[in-house]
A and B are shown apart, each in its own frame.
Chain A
Amino acid sequence: MSENRFAHLMLLPAGLWLLLLFLAPLGIVFAVSLGATDPLYQAVYGWNPGNFVDVFDPLFAPVLLRSVGFALATVVLCLLIGYPIAYYIARFGGRWKTLLIAVVVLPFLVNYLVRTYAWVAILSDEGLVNGILDTLKLSETGVQFVNTPYAVIGGLVYGYLAFMILPLYAALDRMDPSLIEAGKDLYGSRWQTFWHVTWPAAFQGVAAGCVLVFLPAVGDFISAQLLGGPGTYMVGNLIQQQFLEAQNWPFGAALTAVMMAFLLIWMSIYLRSAARASREARA
């Protein structure tokens, strides 16, 4: 058997699996999103594009906007916190570099749920922080940390920070420090050096990190569920609700489809600009 034919044979097991158990379900979701529920709360196929209109209904639109907003805030914070860390290790880590980055990433290997729960334990009304405030008599009734947007965003940041740090570190580590010296000679001004030398190299890492944080953050519902309340619901909570509580699958599917579409658009924008960037870099 020729090599090519053999290789194509190897394509079958996983290929079929993904086709039937990944692509097909996505198609079914789309079909369901156009469906409706019958009195028994079973999803029935049909042509109800109204489901998609409902997605943007004033009742739910704030949830969508909030999801995007929270996700963006998460990206910004992850960037602010992650960049100095990645830079510090890449630039000053020396031979401990790999160890340092491993140790930094270590907490993020723990189950996301457990990590979020940790913050719940600390920030809740019966939690550690309020306990300390109480002991130090700094507050009478305790401070409401949880059930606020800040807690949710904080949870999101704590959840996805590693996805920002790692690509940033990879990009910064790859950069040659002598380029900065050369840049300072060439450009004179520190600002110019940054803009022309440092930024282009770091940018790829920044872009990758932003995408890797933004995409999952938009769809996240654990932080909002545990650290927030109905006032801080995100799209993820809504979808989860529709599927598992309200049994309104068509609407849930519509939400899912809209979210998928939204993310795919950003994904393709990123991929195209990344491809363009690497083509330019090669040239």
Chain B
Amino acid sequence: MSTQGWAERLPVLGRRATRRRRRRRGFDRPRFLRAFFWIFMFFTFAPLAIVALFSFNSTPSLQQFDGFSLQWYDEFLSSATLRESLMASVEIGLVTMVVGTVLGTTLAFALVRARSRVAQASNLVMLIPLVTPEIVAGASALVLFAQIGIELSLATIMIAEITFSISFVTVIVRARLSALNREVEEAALDLGATRMQTIRLIVLPALWPAILAAGLLIFALSFDDFVIAFFTTGESPTPLPVQIYSSIRFGVRPTINAIGTSMLLISFLILAVAVLLPRLLGRREEENVLIGRDAA
């Protein structure tokens, strides 16, 4: 086991480490790394577990668990404001997902197939939103709506979210698109399919896993987003993250545990769908292949 080589990393970072805290000296065995790994897992999952735990607390206390109760969830779901916020977030997520996916996919197609300086410039423009800090995104969206004179509402949130989702979709779809065999498309053209028919019958079926993954990603991103929504939201309803933020500022604690845990579950749910869906749909094809395959 050549872990010994890795101990050498220590002197480089150790200098910095000793300036702050003294940890991790002289490890050259996986045993130490393994321990570090599990401690790390504990500290990353613990906060979420604690929030989840206390969301079922029968008292508002954050310090001791007095008994099991669903009262905070009840408060969450019976509050009209909170319910509206949840619905608003879902709406935002869905609209962003649909529009962002369409825009991002067409852009991906253009960037892969077009050859010109305009296309190269567009590529650069597409990349900038990915590295733009959320606060710049939010501020610029706000400024835009104000100067044009559009009143802030769910729609303005959607517009802003879509703007910053397009690039994610483009990057994901482009990767898959550029991997496709061009000759297959040429074959379709050769056999009498027009360009539109080729896209519909040949390209999109090959592309849909990437499009689906991208769509789910931007749903999750826009559902969870706080900063952009915060800048572009109207009076009411506000999306859930904005609602949570206001609540935290006002110190209304226990219900937030319930909201937080719910959002946690929704995030995991979306992830599960994203991972399992292509596998489920691909499994059918796989089965056919396995059953039908014979030595030929």
Q: Report if A and B touch in the complex (beta carbons < 8 A).
A: yes
Interface residues of chain A, those whose CB is within 8 Å of chain B, are: 1, 3-4, 6-11, 13-15, 17-19, 21-26, 28-29, 32, 43, 76-77, 79-81, 83-85, 87-89, 91-92, 103-104, 106-115, 117-122, 124, 126-128, 130-132, 134-135, 158, 161, 177, 180-181, 183-184, 190-191, 193-195, 197-199, 215-216, 218-222, 226, 236, 239-240, 243-244, 249, 252-253, 256, 259-260, 263, 267
Interface digits, B127-170 against A, CB 8 Å rule (1 contact, 0 not)?
Answer: 01101111110011111101100000000000110111010001
Give the distance in Å from the alpha carbon of A77 to the alpha carbon of B92 in the complex: 35
* B34 A88 Cβ-Cβ under 8 A: yes
Q: In whole Å, how far is A189's beta carbon from the nearest beta carbon of chain B?
A: 9
Query: Which residues 1-23 of B have a CB within 8 angstroms of A?
Result: 2-9, 11-13, 16-17, 20, 23
- Give me 6 other A-B pairs in contact (C-beta within 8 A), A127-B63, A243-B231, A253-B139 excluded: A8-B119, A14-B166, A91-B3, A104-B41, A117-B244, A184-B5
Tally of A-B Cβ pairs under 8 angstroms: 283
Q: Is the interface of A mostly helix, strand, loop or mixed?
A: helix
- Picked from A6, A103, A221, A244, the residue with its CB within 8 Å of the CB of B113 is A6
Q: What residues of A have a CB within 8 angstroms of the CB of B3 in the complex?
A: 91
B67 sits at the interface (CB 8 A): no
Stretch in contact with the other chain, from B78-86, B104-112, B204-212, B280-288: B104-112
Cα distance A252–B104 in the bound complex, in angstroms:
31
Whether A109 pairs with B220 at a CB distance below 8 angstroms is yes
Chain B residues near A128 (CB-CB < 8 A): 50, 62-63
B116 within 8 A of A: yes
A85-B40 in contact (CB<8A): yes
Closest B residue to A124 by CB, please name it. B62
Q: For B144, list chain A residues within 8 Å (CB).
A: 21, 24-25, 28
B172 surroundings in chain A (CB, below 8 A): none
- Residues on A with C-beta less than 8 A from B141 are 21, 25
The reply to whether B133 and A219 form a contact with Cβ atoms under 8 Å apart is yes
A-B CB contact pairs (8 Å), 25 listed: A3-B113, A4-B116, A9-B110, A18-B163, A22-B128, A26-B136, A32-B143, A84-B33, A92-B34, A103-B41, A109-B267, A113-B244, A117-B256, A119-B47, A120-B248, A132-B63, A190-B4, A190-B8, A197-B5, A198-B6, A215-B131, A215-B133, A219-B133, A240-B231, A244-B230
A88 to B41, CA, bound (A): 13
A7 touches B129 (CB 8 A): no
Cα–Cα distance between A66 and B25 once the two chains are bound (Å) = 30
Pair A219/B135 contact, Cβ less than 8 Å: yes
Residue of B nearest to A198 (CB): B5
B115 at the A/B interface (Cβ < 8 Å)? yes
Q: Which of chain B's residues has its CB closest to A219's CB? A: B133
- Docked pose: A43 CA to B147 CA in angstroms: 9
Whether the Cβ atoms of B8 and A267 lie closer than 8 Å is no
Q: Are B48 and A115 within 8 A (Cβ)?
A: yes
CB proximity of A220 to chain B, nearest CB, Å = 8
B245 at interface by CB-CB < 8 Å? yes
B114 at the A/B interface (Cβ < 8 Å)?
Answer: yes
Please name the 5 residue pairs, one residue from A and one from B, whose CB atoms are nearest each other, closest first: A131-B63, A219-B133, A7-B113, A194-B8, A14-B107
CB distance from A233 to the nearest CB of B (A): 13
**Max chain B CB contacts within 10 Å: which of A77, A128, A193?**
A128
CA distance A21 to B244 in the complex (A): 28
> Within the assembled complex, what's the spacing in Å between the Cα atoms of A91 and B5?
12
B16 proximity list for chain A (CB < 8 A) = 76, 80
| The one of A15, A88, A126 that contacts B37, using a Cβ cutoff of 8 Å | A88
